[in-house]
A and B are shown apart, each in its own frame.
Chain A
Amino acid sequence: GENVEQHPSTLSVQEGDSAVIKCTYSDSASNYFPWYKQELGKGPQLIIDIRSNVGEKKDQRIAVTLNKTAKHFSLHITETQPEDSAVYFCAASGVYQKVTFGTGTKLQVIP
């Protein structure tokens, strides 16, 4: 089955700096890569996604990149703000729309 690895597990940045979270996947059949933000005590929230026919996608301060050959994808957050502090999960979806999640990155933005 699919295996999704996510790094780093924790990340601290100063407010205004950029944050980058990286994921790798194992199943070349995976073709849809969503990212989720989970705030304390809440359910995950889909924040951005990218499909396998696209290399990069941007939405305001967040962007995702995908390298299908290397089976890598990344989340970039620019101009971080304290409200960006949360746990971020990458995920990969393939056959039968089964979604496998990464292990999560706890992002702390220091004011």
Chain B
Amino acid sequence: DTAVSQTPKYLVTQMGNDKSIKCEQNLGHDTMYWYKQDSKKFLKIMFSYNNKELIINETVPNRFSPKSPDKAHLNLHINSLELGDSAVYFCASSSLAVPEFFGPGTRLTVL
């Protein structure tokens, strides 16, 4: 059984479009995260939620909006996509003070 799942795995879209990435964890963890990994493999925190409440909101453009409908889900909606948004986005969950299980990633390509 997959612990942290993300959909879609690949997302190719045009500049200016709006898209969403979904994440679900079946581990019963209270904390979920979104990370962005750029082409140089650098991992940067975007958002962190604890029990549906936002606790970390890094300097991310407000075109990015996370939504946590319940403890097991954390979705990421991106408005007005730009070329620089192209990256791999990882969802993660944890029962620790650091991300414990990462999803398989969503490779976003903006054309």
Q: Show the binding face of A for B, using Cβ within 8 Å.
A: 32, 34, 38, 42-46, 49, 87, 89, 91, 93, 96-101, 103-104
Contacts and interface: CB of A to CB of B under 8 A. Distances in A.
Given A96-B55, A96-B56, A97-B55, A46 B100 contact: yes
B103 interface: yes
A17 to B, nearest CB: 24
Interface of B: 4, 31, 40-45, 48, 55-56, 90, 92, 96-105
Contacts of A96: 55-56
Nearest to A91: B98
A32 B98 contact: yes
Contacts of B31: 97
A93 B45 CA distance: 12
B100 A101 contact: no
B97 A101 contact: no
Contact of A42 (B97, B98, B104): B104
Given A43-B4, A43-B105, A103-B42, 14 more contacts: A34-B98, A43-B92, A44-B102, A49-B96, A93-B98, A96-B56, A97-B31, A97-B56, A97-B97, A97-B98, A98-B45, A100-B45, A101-B42, A103-B41
Contacts of B45: 98-100
Contacts of B90: 43-44
26 contacts: A32-B97, A34-B98, A42-B104, A42-B105, A43-B92, A43-B102, A43-B103, A43-B104, A43-B105, A44-B43, A44-B90, A46-B100, A46-B101, A87-B41, A89-B43, A93-B97, A96-B55, A97-B31, A97-B55, A98-B45, A99-B99, A100-B45, A101-B43, A103-B40, A103-B41, A104-B41
B23 to A, nearest CB: 11
A96 B102 CA distance: 20
A99 B102 contact: no
Nearest to B101: A46
